[in-house]
Amino acid sequence: MFTRDHSLPLLLDACSLINLIASGYFFEIVDSIPSQVLVVKYVLENEILNYEQMPYKQLGVKIDNNYLSEHLEVVDIETDEEAEILIDYSLLPSLDAGEAYSAAVAVSRGYVLCTDDKAAIRLSKKESKFNIVSTLEIVKYWSEKKCLTVEEIHVVLLNIQKFGNYRPGKMHEYYQWWSKHIS
């Protein structure tokens, strides 16, 4: 249950940010995290705010830069080292641009990366340069902290599945928890 070092900032990549927004409880979940929560500027501007086809918009969720900045710190590539890591990761065919930006910042600064992207997870395991957590780990932590009912957890996970277009694989660490609450 979300046992990572809470002194380290948590960086949300595009897929985790989409899934948390899709939950319908984005701000409540993010505000429950006991560490600094960040997002890379590229991800926010190019994969969240300017993408009109987000399924979570069916929820009536209004996401804008000012509203998000009250809950997230926006960071950017700042050093030559980060730029070099970004270039290296951008050349990997399995990572999209948002994941490459997020992974580069996480590696360079020692942040924990929240991702559900299989390629980013494989990269983390292969290189051992950054730690990851999943959206489900955060949602489970929040649900326990808030003492949510089984029905409330079901709604949150159903929203993530429907509006985030996400379903964990059977090998996912939290698949059993998901299955128990989604059925």
Q: What are the pLDDT digits (tens) for 57-77?
A: 676 666 767 767 778 999 999
- Domain 10-182, what architecture? 3-Layer(aba) Sandwich (3.40)
Give the chain's residues under pLDDT 50. 1
Distance CA 48, CA 67 (A): 13
Per-residue model confidence as pLDDT tens digits over 158-169:
999 998 889 999
pLDDT at 4: 59
Give CA separation, 145 vs 53, 85, 124, in Å: 32, 36, 28
